[in-house]
Amino acid sequence: MLDNLFPVAILLAVVNRAIIDYLAAPIRQKYPDHDLWYLVYIAFGVGGVIGWLSGVNLFAAIETLPLILGRILTAACIGGGANLLHDIATRRNELPAPLE
């Protein structure tokens, strides 16, 4: 299930980044010396809304995790961007094997 949803989450993160870059371009053009440090937080918020409204839950495989928490975490991951999702994907293989 996660393997089907992960590309969707990456696509949503990339779309979020494109929207933020598109909206920030006029500010950069009009005020080239303006520090846009706050764009990270705007991207996080907008990506969180996009992730929430999409209904994607990357954490559905964790049966003990409440659905709402899985959706919140997924929305935060999408808001964090494609780099964050890539880090999660690569570190998923570094987890220790479960005890039996």
Measured CA to CA in angstroms, residue 74 lies from 26, 29, 32, 64 at distances of 30, 33, 34, 16
Which residues does the chain have with pLDDT short of 70? 1-3, 92-93, 95-100
Dump pLDDT digits (tens) for 36-56. Answer: 999 889 988 998 899 889 888
Gap between the Cα atoms of 52 and 3, Å rounded: 19
Count of CB atoms situated within 10 Å of the CB of 81: 20
Model pLDDT, residue 1: 46
Gap between the Cα atoms of 85 and 97, Å rounded: 21
Q: Where are the domains of the chain?
A: 2-92
